[in-house]
Amino acid sequence: MIEFKLPELGENIEQGDLVRLMVAPGATVNTGQSVMELETDKAVVEVPSSVSGTVQEIRVKEGDKIKVGQVIFTVDGAEAKAPAATAAAAAPAPAATPSEQKSVPTPARKETASEQKAQPTAPSEPATSGGGEFKLPELGENISQGDLVRLMVSAGTKVSEGQPVMELETDKAVVEVPSSVTGMVKDVKVKEGEKIKVGQVIFTLEGAAAAVAPARPRNAPVEHVSGQHGARLAFQAAIRAEGKTEEQALPPDQPQQVPAQFSMPAQLGKVAGTEHRQAIPAAPHVRRLARELGVDIYEVKGSGPGGRISEENVKAYAKSLLSAATSAAATPRAGHFAQPQLPDFGKWGDIERVSMRGVRRKTAEHLAEAWNTIPHVTQHDRADITELEQLRARFAPKAEEAGGKMTVTAIALKVCAAALKVFPQFNASIDIEKEEIVYKQYISIGVAADTDRGLLVPVIRDVDKKNIVELAVELSQLSKKAREKKLASGDMEGGTFTITNLGGIGGVGFTPIVNYPEVAILGLSRSRIEPEWINGKFEPRLILPLSLSYDHRLIDGADAARFLRWIAEAFEQPFLLSVQG
Amino acid sequence: MSDNQSLNIAVIGGGPGGYAAAFLAADLGMSVTLIDPELNPGGVCLYRGCIPSKALLHVAKLLEESHQAKDWGIEFAAPKIDLARLRSWKENVVKKLTGGLGVLSKQRKVKYVQGRAAFENSTTLRVTKTDGSEESLAFDRIVIATGSRPAVVPALKLDTPRMMDSSGGLNLEDIPGTLLVVGGGYIGLELGSVYAALGTRVTVVEMLPGLLPGADRDLVLPLHKRLEKMFDSILLNTTVASVKDEGNGIRGKLKAQDGSEQEKVFDRVLVSVGRKPNAEIPGLEKTGVKAGERGFIQVNKQLQTDDPSIYAIGDVVGEPMLAHKASHEGRVAVEAIAGHKVAFEPNAIPAVVFTDPEVAWCGLTETQAQRENREIKVAKFPWAASGRAITLDRPEGMTKLILDPQTERVLGVGIVGAGAGEMIAEGVLAIEMAALASDVSLTIHPHPTLSETVMEAAEVFFGTSTHIYRPKRG
């Protein structure tokens, strides 16, 4: 028996309300088939199954709040059979409740009907004969490719479903990719170091036991609304670049098969050419206007009674799409660096061109976005850490015992967590669209790590609830993971503030860039002994230079100065932490 | 976009879908050729379907009411039926309407070709005219609107005029003493009603456990009760195992689900077990058009087939096989050809059964909601509480709204009763406009009419219907 659990849906999405369940006990599901609609904070998304088989038990109800990782249903272990997959692929209507009436075609009846009429069946069938192939599956939202770091199989290797077969470096992390097929590897189609796209064939199989994932049903609704939205923006930008109209570039909707049986003209959802979507609360002329403006009416929120969508709602939505597209076009994006034509560097000497691999490209994109969005100001200050250094040396063995290293960064984590509690606007984000400030009730701090792959920022969660020794241990573990390329993308998400420490290298100060959508970042430089004027004479003191960059939209200069002063004083008098922190 | 308006298009099939498409194309400035074997546009609907059957049903209703008039103190002598005159009246109705379409076609400068079309390739048609001449014509776009034909059951095939399909039934060659109607769908019940009113003893055989499969049972019940009185018998869960031509009649062996069998001789048999798409157009294999399940031509929401220059609309692309769906599709297809951003995306398509009482519904049905596990609220208003229904002596009707419990939006409407077919349009409009129950209940409906039942059904939803007293709970 296999369990299907709610998969990760995206950053910061931990749960959702189950709007519609599309399977029932006894239904055949296939990998990739949409099985439910979930309403998250962000949008209603269709969730595809990651398992194949016959549904045995449903563990959730419509209306339930469902958490990531929660079991949705179980399927029996049997592998999905190809003919069933064909029938499922041909059926756009998802509902298959046990109380089916005679007038409703059951999948089985549909099959016999198509057999009797000897209709040409869907193309997925012949794919299974003579073995299968393993293609790079979907890895997550917005991840379309990765660099093959390590291949763990070769011709003749036996693989089974779930077994890791390769390591792939994506923008976000190095991930192990498990096989979705079982059998003997016949032919490996990729090499280490290659860039591999989602859907690309990795290897073919000898054995015939391959559980080939069936082709997605035609007209299957797009999985992630946000993904669809992104695709639309990219599409608009692309066709504009080609100088085409949308008309010329836009392929019409794919033809769709009609269901096998239909007794009376009541089931509009199954009428030829219409998808099985519930009737939208918008008058016909409003729906037509949406089409003319290129708006998916199902994405528009209606402001009228019962959610009725007005002409104004559609226009406003189209406007927001357009402005998003314009700003997206104005912002340098991956592969769309808006920069003047480069000179021919080769004129002046030999050059070498290297592809901007995963992390580098992502860093470029992210920092450019942060720089373009946030009006930056950097505030500098210094902290006298002479006393702290003595304490640090005293307690270092304790941290070491626990498996960590008592570093200035570890202490800075504790100091910042305390400061963020006192100054909550530094632990916030700006939602410009809604004109709201998002104050986070948790404190999770990212720590910039210098790895041979580039800059990575693992996040330590709930920093305020941990003591310095615990933080030191966790920081050591995360740094190790970062160096060993073992960081999962989840390890780098959800931060509310960032610390970057360049003290190990040197420097007297720098202006870090805020890790958007956070609003502030603290930079630490190398501490050094400096003469300080104390009680009428110079004394040698250990001074730590601090640099705080912040989002001036949300934070005023005076507040930033107060915040940084608070941090400096906390370094100077650790007692402050227990009094105010 | 404007150059799309000078396109040269062909429409194959002159039914309600085909001529609607052709006329709109002409109105948009395209040069249009409409090809159909009949003298004038009209198709099955006008020549052998909706229109002639409604003419006959009108007569049937009159006959029924003349019987009922006894209860109102008016007694008529037994009617004398002049079958030839009845037929010619019906044929005149058809001629008048199809002739009118011919005129409209000429006024719009649509080139009407009486003949049949075959594909030479995606943009060329070989047209064989009724006068025998042939011609190859090239077009920019071609719209297939070839419709459907009665389905044939091999076991019920007999070469005798006693064996009829819907077209034969409408020809009204005689008034048979007994008639077996195979199939309890809307065609069988409508034509059965006509013959029963003219004096034929009608037996209806339906394979499924209820008449009008697909419709909500509470809508079918009043009709079933009335038909039980009109017909000799209604046999559910029953199939016709075999038929035999015995010269003076057809012997039918009727087999019930429980295994019991009975044999009976009927003067005529009407087979009405559904319709099949006319997708077997000669030469279609030379194009990119693909057929899907049950032989329907596959199209997208713009009614475009897999061959980009060919569109298809109406019965040939799928259920529901209804004229009003075909016309709407025809117009959408032509607008798509003209370059407008359109799609076939109605929220509701009404279905009407023109029996007496009529049954009509649109949007979500209770049956469908149950199947999809959708939470709904149903508000019913029985016509026994309608003044107008009482004056008509037709209290058996019922109007119901299917509503979304959260938004109170009207999702479906079902009506059974005299004139339900005319009334359902209000339901369709309510659904298309996303009306709420309160929109319907706050709209003043004229008194005394049956249309008030729609308003009062919405009031029932709020528990405040004027003509129904519902004691407060608890």
The answer to whether the CB of A318 falls within 8 A of the CB of A310 is no
Could you say which of B227, B250, B273 is where a domain stops?
B273
Q: What is the pLDDT of residue A440?
A: 94
The answer to whether residue B7 is domain-embedded is yes
Restricting to A residues 7-46, those with a Cβ less than 8 Å away from any Cβ of B are 21
The answer to whether residue B472 is domain-embedded is no
- Show the CA angle centred on residue B217, arms to residues B216 and B220, nearest 5°: 95
B293 touches chain A (CB under 8 A): yes
Per-residue burial over B87-100, b if 16 or more Cβ lie within 10 Å, else e, is beebeebbbebbee
Q: What is the pLDDT of residue A214?
A: 39
Q: Flag whether pLDDT at B419 surpasses 60.
A: yes
Q: What is the pLDDT of residue A506?
A: 87
Residues B173 and B77 in one domain: no
CB contacts < 8 A (A, B): 176
Average pLDDT over residues B296-319: 96
Residue B357 preceded by cis peptide, ω within 30:
yes
Average pLDDT over residues A312-323: 85
Fold of A281-329: Dihydrolipoamide Transferase (4.10.320)
Q: Flag whether pLDDT at A130 surpasses 50.
A: no
Cα–Cα distance, B57 to B49 (Å, whole number)? 12
Secondary structure class of B417 (helix, strand, coil)? strand
Q: Flag whether pLDDT at B395 surpasses 60.
A: yes
Chain B closest-CA separation from residue A69 CA (Å): 25
Q: Which residue of A has its CA nearest to B314?
A: A272
The answer to whether the CB of A82 falls within 8 A of the CB of A27 is no
Q: What is the pLDDT of residue B5?
A: 62
Per-residue pLDDT tens for A508-545?
A: 999 999 999 999 999 999 999 999 998 999 999 999 99
Q: What is the pLDDT of residue A362?
A: 82
Q: Measured between beta carbons, which residues in chain B are less than 8 angstroms from residue A256?
A: 292, 298-300
A292 touches chain B (CB under 8 A): yes
Per-residue pLDDT tens for B356-394?
A: 999 999 999 999 999 999 999 999 999 999 999 999 999
Q: What is the pLDDT of residue A517?
A: 92
* CB neighbour class for A125 (10 Å; exposed up to 12, middle 13-18, buried from 19): middle
Q: What is the pLDDT of residue B232?
A: 96
Q: Measured between beta carbons, which residues in chain A are less than 8 angstroms from residue B370?
A: 99
Q: Measured between beta carbons, which residues in chain A are less than 8 angstroms from residue B295?
A: 117
Q: What is the pLDDT of residue A318?
A: 84
Which band of pLDDT confidence, cut at 50, 70 and 90, is reported for residue A330? low
Average pLDDT over residues B169-190: 96
Residues B143 and B158 in one domain: no
Q: What is the pLDDT of residue B288?
A: 95
The answer to whether residue B215 is domain-embedded is yes
Higher pLDDT, A318 or A437: A437
pLDDT above 90 coverage of chain A, percent: 26
The answer to whether residue B474 is domain-embedded is no
* CB neighbour class for A15 (10 Å; exposed up to 12, middle 13-18, buried from 19): middle
Higher pLDDT, A501 or A180: A501
Which residue in B58, B67, B340, B447 is the catalytic one? Answer: B447
* Token pair of B155 as six digits: 């076991």
Pairwise CB contact (< 8 Å): B348 & A279: yes
The answer to whether residue B471 is domain-embedded is no
Q: What is the CATH number of domain A130-211?
A: 2.40.50.100
Average pLDDT over residues A566-572: 92
pLDDT above 70 coverage of chain A, percent: 71
Q: What is the pLDDT of residue B169?
A: 96
Chain A closest-CA separation from residue B327 CA (Å): 15
Highest mean pLDDT among A127-136, A236-245, A331-340, B324-333: B324-333
Cα–Cα distance, A36 to A515 (Å, whole number)? 35
Q: Flag whether pLDDT at A92 surpasses 60.
A: no
Q: Measured between beta carbons, which residues in chain A are less than 8 angstroms from residue B340?
A: 292
Residues B247 and B266 in one domain: yes
Cα–Cα distance, B443 to B436 (Å, whole number)? 11
The answer to whether the CB of A116 falls within 8 A of the CB of A271 is no
Residues B39 and B181 in one domain: no
pLDDT mean across residues, chain B: 95
Restricting to A residues 45-74, those with a Cβ less than 8 Å away from any Cβ of B are 62
B470 touches chain A (CB under 8 A): no
**Positions of A marked active-site:** 552
B199 touches chain A (CB under 8 A): no
Which band of pLDDT confidence, cut at 50, 70 and 90, is reported for residue A164? confident
Which band of pLDDT confidence, cut at 50, 70 and 90, is reported for residue A99? very low
A265 touches chain B (CB under 8 A): yes
A290 touches chain B (CB under 8 A): no
Pairwise CB contact (< 8 Å): A265 & B320: yes
Chain A closest-CA separation from residue B365 CA (Å): 7
Residues B158 and B145 in one domain: no
| Count of domains observed in chain B | 3
Give, in order, the Cα–Cα distances in Å from B154 to each of B158, B192, B241, B249, B251.
9, 22, 11, 19, 16
Give span(s): CATH 4.10.320.10, chain A.
281-329
Which band of pLDDT confidence, cut at 50, 70 and 90, is reported for residue A18? confident
Domain holding B42: CATH number?
3.50.50.60
Pairwise CB contact (< 8 Å): A266 & B365: yes
CA dihedral A390, A395, A397, A403 (to 10 degrees): -130
Pairwise CB contact (< 8 Å): B407 & A307: yes
Q: Measured between beta carbons, which residues in chain B are less than 8 angstroms from residue A266?
A: 214-215, 320, 351, 361, 365, 367-368
Q: What is the pLDDT of residue A37?
A: 81
Which band of pLDDT confidence, cut at 50, 70 and 90, is reported for residue A230? very low
Q: What is the pLDDT of residue B472?
A: 61
Question: Which candidate in A264, A296, A303 is best for mutational testing of the B interface (most B CBs within 10 A)?
Answer: A264
Residues B7 and B136 in one domain: yes
Q: Kindly provide the ipTM of the predicted complex, given to two decimals.
A: 0.78
CB nearest to B214's CB, from A253, A264, A287: A264
Q: What is the CATH number of domain A1-126?
A: 2.40.50.100
pLDDT mean across residues, chain A: 75
Which band of pLDDT confidence, cut at 50, 70 and 90, is reported for residue A357? low
Average pLDDT over residues A328-339: 50
The answer to whether the CB of B206 falls within 8 A of the CB of B236 is yes
Chain A closest-CA separation from residue B345 CA (Å): 6
Highest mean pLDDT among A170-184, A262-276, A469-483: A469-483
Pairwise CB contact (< 8 Å): A113 & B294: yes
Q: Which CATH class is domain A360-580?
A: alpha beta
Which band of pLDDT confidence, cut at 50, 70 and 90, is reported for residue B4? low
Residues B81 and B213 in one domain: no
CB nearest to A274's CB, from B301, B407, B438: B301
φ and ψ of A543, to 5 deg: -115, 130
Higher pLDDT, A223 or B250: B250
Pairwise CB contact (< 8 Å): B299 & A279: no
Q: What is the pLDDT of residue B253?
A: 95
CB nearest to A306's CB, from B294, B346, B434: B434
The answer to whether the CB of A449 falls within 8 A of the CB of A173 is no
* Token pair of A239 as six digits: 């066709």
Q: Measured between beta carbons, which residues in chain A are less than 8 angstroms from residue B290?
A: 255
Which band of pLDDT confidence, cut at 50, 70 and 90, is reported for residue A193? confident
The answer to whether residue B394 is domain-embedded is yes
Q: Flag whether pLDDT at A125 surpasses 60.
A: no
Average pLDDT over residues B249-260: 94
Residues B295 and B364 in one domain: no
B288 touches chain A (CB under 8 A): no
Chain B closest-CA separation from residue A80 CA (Å): 23
Q: Which residue of A has its CA nearest to B212?
A: A264
Q: What is the pLDDT of residue A279?
A: 86
Chain A closest-CA separation from residue B310 CA (Å): 12
Residues B22 and B114 in one domain: yes
- Give kind and range of the element (H or E) at residue B55: helix B50-68
Restricting to A residues 304-343, those with a Cβ less than 8 Å away from any Cβ of B are 304-309
Per-residue burial over B26-50, b if 16 or more Cβ lie within 10 Å, else e, is bebebbbbbbbebebbbbbbbbbbb
CB nearest to B319's CB, from A95, A262, A284: A262
Pairwise CB contact (< 8 Å): A291 & B343: yes
Q: What is the pLDDT of residue A580?
A: 57
Q: Flag whether pLDDT at A173 surpasses 80.
A: no
Residues B254 and B290 in one domain: no
Pairwise CB contact (< 8 Å): A257 & B363: no
B346 touches chain A (CB under 8 A): yes
The answer to whether residue B296 is domain-embedded is yes
Secondary structure class of B306 (helix, strand, coil)? coil
Q: For residue B269, what are the domain limits?
A: 154-273
A274 touches chain B (CB under 8 A): yes
Q: Which residue of A has its CA nearest to B311?
A: A255
Q: Measured between beta carbons, which residues in chain B are less than 8 angstroms from residue A247?
A: 1, 339
Cα–Cα distance, B459 to B461 (Å, whole number)? 5
Q: Flag whether pLDDT at A221 surpasses 50.
A: no
Question: Which candidate in A109, A119, A258 is best for mutational testing of the B interface (most B CBs within 10 A)?
Answer: A258
Which band of pLDDT confidence, cut at 50, 70 and 90, is reported for residue A11? low
Q: Measured between beta carbons, which residues in chain A are less than 8 angstroms from residue B368?
A: 266-267, 269
Which DSSP string do the residues of A272-286 spell out, in sequence order? TT--S-PPPSB-HHH
Which band of pLDDT confidence, cut at 50, 70 and 90, is reported for residue A292? confident
B405 touches chain A (CB under 8 A): no
Average pLDDT over residues A25-50: 77
Could you say which of B337, B360, B380 is where a domain stops?
B337
Q: What is the pLDDT of residue A493?
A: 87
Q: Flag whether pLDDT at B178 surpasses 70.
A: yes
Q: Flag whether pLDDT at A239 surpasses 60.
A: no
**Cβ neighbours of residue A120 closer than 8 Å, sequence gap 6 or more:** none
Average pLDDT over residues A79-98: 39
Could you say which of B223, B246, B273 is where a domain stops?
B273
φ and ψ of B269, to 5 deg: -125, 130
Q: What is the pLDDT of residue A228?
A: 39
Question: Which candidate in B257, B272, B294, B342 is best for mutational testing of the A interface (most A CBs within 10 A)?
Answer: B294
The answer to whether residue B358 is domain-embedded is yes
Average pLDDT over residues A199-227: 51
Higher pLDDT, A504 or A248: A504
Restricting to B residues 354-373, those with a Cβ less than 8 Å away from any Cβ of A are 361, 363-365, 367-368, 370-373
Per-residue pLDDT tens for B108-153?
A: 999 999 999 999 999 999 999 999 999 999 999 999 999 999 999 8
